[in-house]
Structure 1
Amino acid sequence: MADEVSRNSARSTAGTTLRRILDLAIDGVPSMPGAKAVAAKQLQKHPRTDEAVDAVISSHIALASASGFLSNVGGLVVTAISLPMNIVGLAVLQARMVAAIAHLRGYDIEDTRVRTAVLMCLMGGEEVTRLVGKGKLPGTPLLIATAPIANASLYEDVSEKVVASLLTIHGGKSVGVLATKRIPIIGGGIGAVFDGVATRQIGTFARGELVQRRAIG
């Protein structure tokens, strides 16, 4: 019983940290523009919304492959012990990417429903489909983002599920890094490749899921 309480407490703490990460990704800080600023910059370069969305994804894939950037971003957040710094950096980056996509597609990223959908996208399409199929999530990110009523408890529940998903992915990545560590060049670049591919997959999922809702005002 005590172990279960401890695990629940750890998940809750990590979920709170993830929601703080999302706040940072959306609001930004002086050294890192937030989601709306990123969206505006790309929309200025690419007036067509879909082109701006693609540019947001491409730029974040490049940043995800730069480990120095992820380390610096991770340092902006006081993390829970269950969230390693490299996961934090990547989560901030991917959350900003998805939030920028949502903003470009006309969603209010200050809305709890939309923020819940953004977090769901961080799990990737396969994991979201699996959890929806098992009844552990009430619907897809699109359905959550456009639900008639916000559900604060769902926001908390989703953040804890995302943490579990990120830690599972990180565990698999760590095994891969250790397996290739002794191989020259490949060992040094495997982490960057993994993060870039993961970011592309999440960006592609968010682009397909968060369809155009209205023009940005």
Structure 2
Amino acid sequence: MAGVARFVASSLAPAAQRFAPQAAAGALRRVLEVAIDGYQRFPGAEAVAARYLEKQETDAQGRRDVQAALEAVIDQHVRLAGVQGFLTSIGGLITLPVALPTNLTGLAVVQTRMVAAIASLRGYDLDDPRVRTAVITCLLGEDGVTDRLKNSSLPTSPLAMATAPVFDPELDRLVSAEVVGELIAHIGGKRMAITVTRRVPLLGGAVGAGVDGWSTYKIGQYADKVLLRRAPRPIEQ
């Protein structure tokens, strides 16, 4: 995870530090491609989905429990989010401006791969750009998507995006910009808490791990809810 974060942080961090979501949207999209497709020894979402499905016992018809595999994927990524949140939150106060963009990148990678693995388990084709737009949208969380639908800053839900007749590149750019803003707001909110708690040894790391783990859990639950199962599609194993 640290290697992936370093690989992509150089392009995302400067824009994130300037708190300019539009400027960072293109860089974030590249980060999320890495999260879905994998990088070197960091397995992509389909490989993760297949691994957890393979771990499930088969029933009398030879089928494996997709929901159990999905829940295991969420649990794994909640733990990963907690670990990367801890590691990027325990430095001294002087490291805060550096740690935040790295944390933003690591969190985006963890959460995107989790949602993409859920989509794969539910029968969606991760090579379809419409599905990738839907995956990114799920990073806004249920409240974030609902609020944006109400104020019309998003035109439709992740499920509708994934099943739309055609891919809409303008919608994809819009979603990327919205997600950058959401991630920056998440990191900014966490910053207020850990700036104080870092004065107590290891407490800042615990806060960082808890905040990132909880947000990842909520996004996983939302993806589970909104990405309804499609017709069965074989997952390569």
TM exceeding 0.5: yes
CA distance in 2, matches of 1:110, 1:176: 39
Report the residue type matching 1:42 in the other structure. Answer: Y
Is 1:23–2:23 an aligned residue pair? no
Which residue, out of 38, 46, 50, partners 2:48?
A: 38
CA distance in 2, matches of 1:187, 1:70: 10
TM-score by length of 2: 0.79
Is 1:114–2:131 an aligned residue pair? yes
CA distance in 2, matches of 1:185, 1:210: 37
How many residue pairs match? The answer is: 202
Matches within 5 A, 1:52-201: 52-67=69-84, 84-201=101-218
Q: Which runs of 5+ in 2 are unaligned?
A: 1-14, 57-63, 89-97
Mean CA deviation greater in 34-43 or 174-183: 174-183
Which residue, out of 10, 13, 38, partners 2:23?
A: 13
Q: Which runs of 5+ in 1 are unaligned?
A: 1-5, 72-80
Q: Is contact 2:86-2:205 (8 Å) kept?
A: no
Q: Is contact 2:45-2:113 (8 Å) kept?
A: yes
Mean CA deviation greater in 146-155 or 62-71: 62-71
**Partner deviation per Cα, 1:81-124 (whole Å, 9 max, x = no partner):** 9x811100110110000000001100111111111111111011
Report the residue type matching 2:74 in the other structure. Answer: I
**Partner deviation per Cα, 1:12-40 (whole Å, 9 max, x = no partner):** 43111111111101110122000000000
CA distance in 2, matches of 1:92, 1:66: 13
> What's the C-alpha RMSD, in Å, of the aligned pairs?
2.4
**Partner deviation per Cα, 1:56-76 (whole Å, 9 max, x = no partner):** 0000011111128976xxxxx
Q: Is contact 1:64-1:70 (8 Å) kept?
A: no
CA distance in 2, matches of 1:70, 1:144: 35
CA distance in 1, matches of 2:183, 2:219: 12
Classify the secondary structure of the residue corresponding to 2:53: helix
CA distance in 1, matches of 2:131, 2:77: 20
CA distance in 2, matches of 1:70, 1:208: 30
Q: Is contact 1:70-1:89 (8 Å) kept?
A: no
Report the residue type matching 1:50 in the other structure. Answer: Q
Distance 1:62 1:206, change over 3 A: same
TM-score by length of 1: 0.86
Mean CA deviation greater in 171-180 or 184-193: 184-193
User: Residue 231 of structure 2 aligns with which residue?
Assistant: 214
Report the residue type matching 2:176 in the other structure. Answer: S
CA distance in 2, matches of 1:188, 1:138: 38
**Partner deviation per Cα, 1:159-199 (whole Å, 9 max, x = no partner):** 01100111011100100111222234433311011111011
CA distance in 1, matches of 2:114, 2:142: 16
CA distance in 2, matches of 1:186, 1:69: 10
